[in-house]
Amino acid sequence: MGTSVRDKYIQYRSNPDNDDKSDAYFCTSNQISLDELQELIRQDRKLQSDILKSRRATYAIRMKKIDAALFRAAESGDTKAADLLYRRFDGWNPKIVEETNNYYNFTDMVKSLRHKKATIIKRSM
């Protein structure tokens, strides 16, 4: 029993090595027509989300290797690697915004703006 066109397409689009390859290349490699693939893409509403899930799983495997290398570099004294580690795992961001002589963390400002927007929307309802 063979793999379906849908499953093959998910595998194809999930692989970052295929980013520069077209759907036409996929069709030629799998002996299907481009029209058939385009029809599948149009009709299958869940296809794009399944591709994204699969792609994230692919990246997760690669990210473990990157994280391990980043830790090794930071442990050996690489300050840029340490900076990246703090940004990646703690959400730390050294960029701050000055507003009326008070300093705010950019993330806190965004959260505050979201809260204000939500309050305004609730009041208008």
pLDDT tens string 45-66? 999 999 999 999 888 888 888 8
Q: Quick one: which of 9, 116, 19 has its CA closest to 54? A: 9
- Indicate whether 85 and 99 sit together in one domain: no
* SS3 call for 103: strand
- Indicate whether 27 and 50 sit together in one domain: yes
Position 82 confidence tier, pLDDT thresholds 50, 70, 90: confident
Task: State the DSSP H helix or E strand holding residue 104, giving kind and residue range, or none if neither.
Answer: strand 102-105
CB 98 within 8 A of CB 109: no
Q: What is the pTM of this model?
A: 0.55
Q: Could you say which DSSP state residue 95 is in? A: -
- Indicate whether 24 and 54 sit together in one domain: yes
User: What is the pLDDT averaged over residues 5-22?
Assistant: 93
- Indicate whether 99 and 38 sit together in one domain: no
Long-range contacts of 61-64 (CB under 8 A, 24+ apart): none
- Indicate whether 117 and 57 sit together in one domain: no
- Indicate whether 52 and 71 sit together in one domain: yes
- Indicate whether 10 and 65 sit together in one domain: yes
Q: Which residues form the domain of 72?
A: 5-90
Give the per-residue pLDDT at 31: 93
Give the per-residue pLDDT at 118: 60
